[in-house]
Amino acid sequence: MPKIRVDVSSSRPLFIEVDPEAFGAVFAAMNDDDQVAVLRAMVKHMQPHRMQWDHISIALEAPENRDLRDQLREVLFPGPGADSHS
């Protein structure tokens, strides 16, 4: 499984910086239960920042992000009669 590289330069505080590509690779290598656990943790940690969901929705409406929005909608929320395993 891919790992996220952590470089510790002091005893405190510890900050881990991961670029989206590295996070995506680690996420993709997880099994389905772990992927769901990560999504659940993301939603949990976003609860105090409810307005951020609006910002994400607006960003997904931008022309350069609509393909991602459509892919997420298709695979996570397939319409009636849609094949959810394709």
Label residue 12 by pLDDT band (50, 70, 90). confident
The length of the chain is 86
How far, in Å, CA of 37 to CA of 12, rounded? 27
The pLDDT > 90 percentage for the chain reads 58
Domain range for 60: 31-76
Whether 69 maps to a domain, the answer reads yes
Q: Tally the domains of the chain.
A: 1
Q: Which residue has the higher pLDDT, 32 or 84?
A: 32
Whether 86 maps to a domain, the answer reads no
Lookup: tokens for 78: 């397939």
The amino acid sitting at 53 is: W
Whether 43 maps to a domain, the answer reads yes
